Structure 1
């Protein structure tokens, strides 16, 4: 992505972190990409893509796994919550409990045979929060799946021509954050018909800090 210079991205990341007021919590570093000339009703405008960052942000990610049997046993060693088929059935008609789970879980990994049940119970609460259930094959290594999704972010463009995601934390190396940003930008480039024209602005900011714009070519 030659029109987004690496030195300009690095400069923006450094400025965003330096300009951010100190807080008593670890701030995220967020990336905002503003689009232009993208029809939000077209396939290109309905971006909904999972991106696996090369350097996981130093933030807690709550992974929930819906599974039974051996997969559930292994998931309990690495995931924050495991939902069995019986527990999912108990959520039928209980919107309050489903909402609580949807708020807690950053990612919900679901053994494929339980996807229809999750679709009836959890999906209605996950959707409005920009979250989706992720199908997991029955013979998959759930430990590897959980580890992988700790480094995942969701790119989602719905009502506004922009995407925003976490690309790091203020205590990470600048070079690592820059690599994460390029992974997101390269993913977007593959989804847009003309990235050079469609990407209007690239902005970096911390949770509580001012936005810093990357100077594009």
Structure 2
């Protein structure tokens, strides 16, 4: 995918967008083709790292104890839950749902994953927010920093889905680099690459769509 073509589409989308008093989101509309989306293997359900981040605050919650919990707090995690709080959250469905909607990414020590799955799986699972397992070979600080530049892409069973790629006040070059990273990921996700992509459009929240592919 040519970088200049993506950048030109981003600039057009920004130019055509009406002026607003808030920083609008920049979104991609991905339209797939020649895929049976009833087959789970054809659905997008991935975390993609954007080279320039999503341009907005990403909220992160960590389930951990001891030194790992302290390091998570030091790295700026928005919530750090002790293992004892898992059952408390499980009993308070309203709070659990509110938390699941507010937080973008959950991280949990691997030993806690079974308890989280049993207690909070019904809330986190359907939202695609089951925690990233923190195994002994991973560093919680690195996972937190990585998650701040990540987005969750889920197509479910739809041939068309939308992905946030930045904010209107970001540099157009940085937005285009984020789009390029997503298109490359999708290209490598499917056996036929971009032949399984009908079209890709970019737009601001309130603006018209501009074709990228």
| TM-score, structure 1 normalization | 0.91
Which structure is higher in helix share?
2
State the Cα distance separating 1:131 from its structure 2 match: 2.5
Of stretches 9-18 and 36-45 in structure 1, the one that deviates more from structure 2 is: 36-45
4+ residue runs over 4 A deviation: none
Q: Which residues of structure 1 form unaligned runs of 5+?
A: none
Q: Is the 8 A contact 1:157 1:163 kept in 2?
A: yes
State the Cα distance separating 1:56 from its structure 2 match: 0.9
CA RMSD of aligned residues (A): 1.6
Q: Is the 8 A contact 2:54 2:151 kept in 1?
A: no
The alignment status of 1:64 with 2:36, answered yes or no, reads no
State the Cα distance separating 1:119 from its structure 2 match: 1.0
Q: Is the 8 A contact 1:109 1:136 kept in 2?
A: yes
State the Cα distance separating 1:127 from its structure 2 match: 2.7
1:89 paired residue number: 87
Q: Deviations over 1:139-182 (max 9, x none)?
A: 53211110100000112121211332111111111111111111
State the Cα distance separating 1:95 from its structure 2 match: 1.4
1:47 paired residue number: 44
Q: Deviations over 1:1-58 (max 9, x none)?
A: 4xxx332211211111122222232212111211010111335412211111111122
Aligned residues: 212
Q: Deviations over 1:73-119 (max 9, x none)?
A: 11112111111111112123321121011011100011111111211
| TM-score, structure 2 normalization | 0.92
Q: Which residues of structure 2 form unaligned runs of 5+?
A: none
